[in-house]
Structure 1
Amino acid sequence: MISDPLLLAVAVMAVMMILLLSSKWIGFSLFASGVAGMLLFEVHLPPTISIWDKIGDLLANSVWNSLNSWALTALPLFILMGEILYRTAISTRLLNGLVPWLSGVPGRLYHINVVACSLFAAVSGSSAATTATVGKITLSELTRRGYRKSLAIGSLAGAGTLGFLIPPSLIMIIYGVLSDTSIGKLFIAGVIPGVVLATMYSVYIVARAKMDPDAIPGEDETYTWADRFAALRDLVPVFGLIVLVLGGIYVGLTTPTEAAAIGVVGALGLALYFRNLTWANLQQALLSAVKTSGMICFIIAGAAFLSQVVGFVGIARAISTSIADLNLSPYTLILVLGLMYLFLGMILDGISIVVMTLPIVLPIVQSAGFEALWFGIFVVFMVELSQITPPVGFSIFVIQHIAKEDVRTILKATFPFFCIMVIMVILVTVFPDIVFFLPRHMM
């Protein structure tokens, strides 16, 4: 039996790592780690109550409280909306409509990854879905047209992570539920950082194009203004859906859950409008949305149980006291946490990082003077970085499957965009008004 909460924290983390490395489900690993923590800790209970009774009480309470949330219903709806757009090939129309408008910009069609990922992120909320959907179309097309594959891969990897930052974001929904932070405010707070990051990606592409003209093919298709206006037939409906989903949240007319329901109806309407909706692809979208939602809810429930255990045995209090005793300055604390998230990103997916660390980290951050709203955007950036961090960067795996390149080549191509994201994290930390400006003026 272990009486020291810090030693118990190490033991619980060891159990979790062993289970994760043995390829067990993340949700199961979280539940099992919580049970192990209770069994290993020296708990003093009345004679009439066994340790298994206490575990059952904590389990029932945590699972019910974590999943019995109206705000959480936005999660499966946004997932379904993204699946409908992907399965009915509406995303392909979006990309084809962008080509005439980007052909005259320095760097030309490299920007299509940035713009297309930004737009698709605004209607899907998933980084993996954004990267896969855009990458399946753009990588082969850019390579066919003579564009350098490494820059195409790098821009896709960097811009694909915008699915977590530009609302509606699945990570923001989960963070809002677990931290009791307004999901609407999180959505609004992510807009300016998302637009600034996408702009920084495009500026880098322009600079690369200027410094290395060979990266751009000598000849490219030319488009007239008539072609550009004709392409609006594919762009305007998607823009309309974005405005429909996010506009209601921004002006306070709809909650995120209501906006998600509107988004599903809007996605179905677009599929009917473009005559791409069939029973087969609707079945695929529904089945995939159910699988993804079930997986995420299982992870959330497991994380909630583990957080209950962490609080019950005193791990959170002990860690908070230990960090407070270090007398770290607020920015040093954020630096330490940033390095911790980068390490966790090497071995865990983004959702697991959020749900496993938040119960312990958030009280420490708030006691240092940072607001939960700002920290939510900071965590989203850290999760974005984890998407392109080896060896468990999901975006890297997605791109590897699409591009048929080895991981080393993909990481080398992605590194400049990784550095840009790190610069953006520094800017958000030094200038927090980047996050707070819209929430203060719109809500």
Structure 2
Amino acid sequence: MEIAILAPLLVLALFATLAAGLWVGFALIAVGLLAMVTSAPAPASLVFATKVWGGLTVWDLTALPMFIWMGEILVRSRLSSDMFSGLSPFTTRLPGGLLHVNVMACALFAAVSGSSAATTATVGRMSVPELGARGYDDRMIIGTLAGSGTFGFLIPPSIILIVYGAATEQSIARLFLAGVVPGLMLAALFSGYIMLWALLNRGRMPAPEPATSLGAAFRAATKLLPVLVLIVAVIGSIYAGIASPTEAAVIGVAGALLLAWTTRALSLRGVWDSLRAATITTCMISFILAGAAFLTVAMGYTGIPRQLAAWIGAMDLSPYALLAALTVFFIIMGMFLDGISIVVLTVSIILPMVMAAGIDPIWFGIFLVLVVEMSQITPPVGFNLFVLQTITGRDIFTIARYAAPFFGLLVLALAILSVFPQIALWLPGTMLNR
């Protein structure tokens, strides 16, 4: 079949299967089968079995279920309330007050969960009622939480960086290191915006919180010690070369169970529920990876990736123009697909042309995650929006409107990262090239 006919047919088939409610993994498999039947001389069943097995038997993916389980354990612990209590005394003197707790708590929780949705849900359950009761503006409560919840994708250990590393055969340790400084930069941009908004909208801010003595602040900060120790144990073991990402994930699970046990925040029923939830999430991601692995080889038989790469190559785009085009492409994709689906579905096609343009694949992984973060707060398929809809009862488009300034800050962060790529590359180059 001619590519000019086949390409639109496959795109239409993908969106039709998704619109019909078929799971993403099975939708990818269905489109792959259509591509094989119409274009490939090889037997579809044999290719399917080979590629699905190969796509799932990747050693780096063994870290995935453990990091997911660690996050599920911590979601059910007292971690979010302890973080709120520990951070709040340090923010009362800043313009914006306790709104900064959303940013800081999400950054801390992202460093031990790796999941954007888990970060948003865990911090949101604590901060939304607490900040609402203190008179903070709903627009900023929800907006800061929607934006900051995306840190779970960028700040290591990030589940989506593990998926990207496995799909592109890049070092997960380097990807984790590359995400640290951009994650801190993004948190600084969000806090800066909160301070600016608070100074320009003094009438919409509640009365200042009572000043906290330095001693009381540091006593409250002791509640942060367990999570800080867990972060150092998990991430530090990787950076120090003591443990691989998979071994660090096991350390994280053991630490999370110990933390939950010592604080008496988790029952045996809670452990079972966390294991069950982690299993469900892992299976969902595995189905997506299996479908994407099969679709990738099926697309290779069609010749569409080669034609697309040749078409973009013929346009002779500069690296900046290519990145701008890819940003628009990924934002549009993010309106309909979740982040992991976007990564596994596109990297095999996009990465060769990106590397041909001289763009570092580690840097591109961070760039891609930033763009995928935008998809978390764009309707109609924005997972953070769904989480906040459940917590607040607001409709998804209202929440998206509240999150719009933080979408703009993500775009700004993307521009800064593109102009100054060493923001992502400096730390892995320094730590791992010694």
Q: TM-score, normalised by structure 2?
A: 0.97
**Aligned 1:164-183 pairs, distance under 5 A:** 164-183=153-172
Q: Distance in 1 between matches of 2:363 and 2:415?
A: 13
How far apart are the structure 2 equivalents of 1:301 and 1:119? 32
CA contact (8 A) 2:33 2:44 kept: yes
* Alignment-mate amino acid for residue 408 of structure 1: F
Q: Secondary structure of 1:64's partner?
A: helix
Does residue 15 of structure 2 align to residue 21 of structure 1?
A: no
User: What is the Cα deviation at residue 416 of structure 1?
Assistant: 0.8
Equivalent AA in structure 1 for residue 8 of structure 2: V
Q: Give the drift of 1:6.
A: 4.5
Residues 226, 104 of structure 1: alpha-carbon distance in 2 compared, 3 angstrom cutoff: same
CA-to-aligned-CA distance 1:194-240 (integer Å, 9 cap, x gap): 00000000011011111111232114244223322221331111111
Q: Give the AA of the match of 2:24.
A: I
Instruction: Identify which range, 217-226 or 328-337, moves more after superposition.
Output: 217-226
The answer to whether the aligner puts 1:107 opposite 2:96 as a matched pair is yes
Corresponding position of 1:11: 9
**What is the CA–CA distance in structure 2 between the aligned matches of 1:166 and 1:15, rounded to whole Å?**
35
Q: Distance in 1 between matches of 2:298 and 2:16?
A: 19
**Aligned positions, number:** 432
Match of 1:301 in 2: 290
- Residue in structure 2 matched with residue 280 of structure 1 by the alignment: 269
Aligned equivalents of 2:12, 2:126: Cα separation in 1: 42
Write the mapping of 1:315-334 to structure 2, written as runs, cut at 5 A.
315-334=304-323
For residue 145 of structure 2, what is the aligned residue in structure 1?
A: 156
- One-letter code aligned to 1:69: V
Code of the residue aligned with 2:100 in structure 1: it is H
Matched residue of 2:170: which SS?
A: coil
Q: C-alpha distance in 1, partners of 2:203/2:253?
A: 43
| Alignment match, 2:301 | 312
SS, match of residue 108 in structure 1: coil
Identity of aligned residues (%): 46
Equivalent position of 1:244 in the other structure: 233
1:369 and 1:228 map into 2 onto residues whose CA distance is 48
Match of 2:68 among 76, 79, 89: 79
Write out the 4+ residue segments of structure 1 that deviate beyond 4 Å after TM superposition. none
Write the distance in 1 (CA, Å) between the matches of 2:199 and 2:162: 40
The separation in 1 between residues aligned to 2:17 and 2:142, in whole angstroms, is 33
1:66 equivalent in structure 2:
55
Q: Is the 8 A contact 2:35 2:298 kept in 1?
A: yes
Which residue of structure 1 lines up, in the alignment, with residue 125 of structure 2?
136
Alignment of 1:13-412 (within 5 A): 13-41=11-39, 43=40, 45=41, 54-412=43-401
Moved more, 393-402 or 26-35: 393-402
Paired residues of 2:121 and 2:387 also in contact (CA < 8 A): yes
Equivalent position SS for 2:98: helix
Q: Is the 8 A contact 1:113 1:155 kept in 2?
A: yes
Q: What amino acid sits opposite 2:108 in the alignment?
A: L
**Distance (whole Å) between structure 2 residues aligned to residue 258 and residue 200 of structure 1:** 33
SS of 1:374's partner is: helix
CA distance in 2, matches of 1:278, 1:399: 27
- 5+ residue gaps, structure 1: 46-50
- Does the CA contact (< 8 Å) of 2:379 and 2:397 recur in 1? no
Conserved 8 A contact 1:147-1:216: yes
For residues 316-374 of structure 1, the C-alpha deviation after alignment (integer angstroms, 9 at most, x for no partner) is 11111111112222211111111000100111111111111111111111111111111
Q: Is the 8 A contact 1:145 1:217 kept in 2?
A: yes
Mapped contact 1:145–1:220 kept (Cα < 8 A): no
Tell me the distance in 1 between the aligned counterparts of 2:116 and 2:29. Answer: 26
Where do 5+ consecutive residues of structure 2 fail to align?
none
Q: Contact 1:246 / 1:259 at 8 angstroms: preserved in 2? A: yes
Contact 1:87 1:284 in 2 (8 A): no
Would you say the 8 A contact 2:102–2:145 is kept in 1? yes
Question: For residues 314 and 221 of structure 2, what CA distance do their matches in structure 1 show?
Answer: 59
The aligned counterpart of 1:48 is none
What is the letter of the counterpart of residue 290 of structure 1?
T
Paired with 2:300 and 2:370, the residues of 1 have a C-alpha distance of 27
